[in-house]
A and B are shown apart, each in its own frame.
Chain A
Amino acid sequence: MATRAPDRLAAVPPDGPVRSRHRLRRHLVHQLDVKGSPYAYVAPFFLLFSAFGLFPLAYTAWVSLHEWTLLSDEHTFVGLDNFRALLADDYFWNATFNTLSIGVLSTAPQLLLAIWLAHLLNRPLRAQTFFRVTLLLPNVTSVVAVVVIFSQLFGRDFGVINWMLGWFGVDGVAWNEGVATSHVAISVMIMWRWTGYNALIFLAAMQAVPRELYEAATLDGASGATQLRKITIPMIRPTIIFVVITSTIGAMQVLAEPLLFGTYSISGGPDRQYQTLSLLIYENFTKLDFGYASAISWMMFVFIVLVAGVNYLLTRRAKGGLT
């Protein structure tokens, strides 16, 4: 548009006062068009972001400074009291520990598995598209269905997993009673859903790695594993950073899996053994203690920024460029 407009301007005869005023107006309109239009085009996003992103963030901060319960129209300003209570609250630290534990248990093996899967699929393969599509299938399954099925698999009395463990003489494990066992069970659900998805992102990045590097490496006698370690991983490093950060954020926010694993137990098991931060927020919201729940939400936001930042630094430092 900007490139066409000057032609039209030039076509206007440059004489007469009326013409000149007319020209001035057209010039202004044109200026507005050129300078202003791009903002108008991007405005919808920023408007929506302000309405559904910034405003809730700010409003949550405001609520977190109050004693705020529903059905009562009075909201007492309490300053940072909610945050003070939060930092002294065992349940909050318990939830933080659970979130980190489930996050590490699910994210770390998941990413390794995803890279390995992507590496396998990156080779010439029969029915390639079929396998790639299959990878994405777990991700389009409803999370409720996934958790309901897995909860059955991890059942204590009639679960398939305990039945199979029975073959090896292991007694029935009460998966959702213990801290470690419940974290493992929930992590498995998360991994099942997201490994394929991440593998596809890695695969896309791997396709952009020049073939010549592999050919040269093969000539030099490097094995598949060495090629993965020395060529593929350094070359797709930006993608790894991206996936690590998105997975971290996802893991920090995990809600549906523990909630449904405890069959709608908002405390994440009787001993809060798998209550994550999101679940703790949810619990306080359902108790209609909005000030406190908002304070937890803000702490969670801070945690996510911190953890994502640390992960970014670690992944950036861990692997040098292709040398």
Chain B
Amino acid sequence: MRKLRHRFLAPMVAVSALAVSLAACGGDGGGTAGSSASASQPGEKIKLTVALFSDFHYAPLYEAFKKTHPNVEIVERRSQFNDHHTNLITQLTTGAGAADVVAVEGGYIGAFTPVPDKFYNLKDYGLERRKSEYLDWKWQLGVSNDGSSLMGLGTDVGGLAMCYRPDLFKKAGLPADRDEVSALWPTWDAYIETGKKFVAAKVAGAKFTDGPGEHFRAMVEQAPVGFYDDQYKIVAGTNPEVRKAYDMSVKIVDEGLSAKLAAFTPPWNTGIAKGTFATMVCPAWKTGTIKDQKPGEGAWDIAAVPGGGGNQGGTHLMLPKQGKHPKEAAELIDLLTNKESQIMLFKEASALPSLPALYDDPAVADYVNPYFGNAPIGKIFTSAAKALKPQHVGPKAGDVLLAFNNGLQRVEQGKQNAEEAWTQALKDVGRIK
């Protein structure tokens, strides 16, 4: 027994020595972090990190900010869309690693509005004064569920439109001019009727649309109530609007309109470039996606979305409590979301402003995009955003949508009929906690 204890003594000493030194390191780190938490002194160097999920084209705005804040250094961090939001949740939970300013996309914001204590209240930094500038529903998305805290300022909204291929429309004997095309489909029913005509014309190598998933999302988001009610309870199974959207999407499949391509997959990208489908649901930011596939200037044009108006996506900027310089960070997001910045970002990055006053500003309203056959994208997208009825976005709206999209794909691939796929989708939704 004695011998045994001796034998273990040495390694124990070694281990505890290491442990002490590790603890010392940890303590050091905590110390510096603690000291910098105090209010910043004039002239002190401050570093602000901004976490985004793609290129927001903010670089010139950072420069503008540095003119009034010479002591601030801004570092941008970008990660993949899916990872970005999961990372943020992990960082908030573990209490470390969050950036000073974080971007949160519309589908995810509902995950954060129930926990205002994890973020700075922007009211404390005087940003409540911006309220009158904003689209009301966009402003509300950034307010905590209990209404006590202003958690984020909106950047852009994803006004909806329908992108289409004029060449394929001509081949099918349909009108190709964008106003006439918009007139073809005031409703989703009319959209499907147009699709039937397209199918009847038997255009070689082309279907009418990519797949039903994005249409389903657009229809749900056009409804006054979507997957969640205003108490943030999932009502996807009982809301008749969801069922209506689902049935309409199944119809798109049944009538043979779909090219069976899920959005954002490589074959879908190829389809955009080669024109294997003639229409796709198109939020403002998707015009950038189309351009990236290089289908050629004028290959795609933009018409109004059926059902009038709608929004898909759009982002808020928020300040996690972990940040040490909330005052400067709040000033930064004030600048990033002001009128001039939003106009600049609309031109640079197709980010549709969330300030309705800009919709009548000639810089936005009269903006035409040469790549889309000089389509007046300013007018199209702003009228979609104006016509939108706001909706409560629930915390797991993204997961609910995925369950239904999987169901629609099972129908599309002939694995289940519409009813079976609906039942299983609801079962999947039921597992979401």
Residues of chain A touching chain B, judged by Cβ–Cβ distance below 8 Å, are: 32, 35-37, 39-40, 43, 47, 69-71, 148, 151-152, 155-158, 174, 177, 263-267, 270-271, 286-289
Contacts and interface: CB of A to CB of B under 8 A. Distances in A.
A286 B406 contact: no
Nearest to B413: A177
B7 A35 contact: yes
Contact of B266 (A32, A151, A177, A287): A151
B11 A36 contact: yes
Interface in B103-148: 111, 114-115, 118
B406 A287 contact: no
A148 B89 contact: no
Given A263-B262, A286-B86, A43 B11 contact: yes
Contacts of B265: 263
B267 interface: yes
A256 B215 CA distance: 29
Given A36-B9, A287-B399, A148 B14 contact: no
Interface in B15-30: 15, 18
Nearest to B11: A39
B406 A267 contact: yes
Contacts of B114: 71
A266 B18 CA distance: 41
A158 B267 contact: yes
Given A36-B10, A265-B262, 6 more contacts: A35-B6, A36-B9, A43-B14, A151-B266, A177-B413, A287-B399
B89 A288 contact: yes
A264 B80 CA distance: 11
A155 B269 CA distance: 12
A162 to B, nearest CB: 11
Given A155-B266, A174-B413, A40 B14 contact: yes
Interface residues of B, number: 43
Contacts of B264: 263
Contacts of A157: 267, 270-271, 276
Interface of B: 6-7, 9-11, 13-15, 18, 82, 86, 89-90, 92-93, 111, 114-115, 118, 260, 262, 264-267, 270-271, 274, 276, 396, 399, 402, 405-410, 413, 415-416, 432-433
A39 B402 contact: no
A interface secondary structure, majority: loop
A47 B11 CA distance: 11
A270 B433 contact: no
Given A271-B410, A287-B432, A37 B93 contact: no
Which of B10, B82, B264, B416 has the most chain A CB atoms closer than 10 A to its own CB? B10
Nearest to A151: B266
A294 to B, nearest CB: 14
A287 B10 contact: no
A195 B89 CA distance: 39
B111 A39 contact: no
Nearest to B262: A263
Given A47-B15, A264-B82, A287-B432, A71 B92 contact: yes
Contacts of A265: 262
Nearest to B432: A287
Contacts of A288: 89
5 contacts: A36-B10, A43-B15, A70-B92, A157-B271, A264-B82
A264 B405 CA distance: 14
Contact of B409 (A37, A155, A264, A270): A270
A71 B432 CA distance: 15
A265 B265 CA distance: 10
Contacts of B10: 32, 35-37, 39-40
Contact of A287 (B15, B271, B396): B396
Contacts of A148: 266
Given A71-B89, A148-B266, A158-B270, A271 B415 contact: yes
Nearest to B15: A43
Contacts of B82: 264, 286
B399 to A, nearest CB: 6
A39 B14 contact: yes
Nearest to A266: B402
Contacts of B433: 69, 287, 289
A152 B11 contact: no
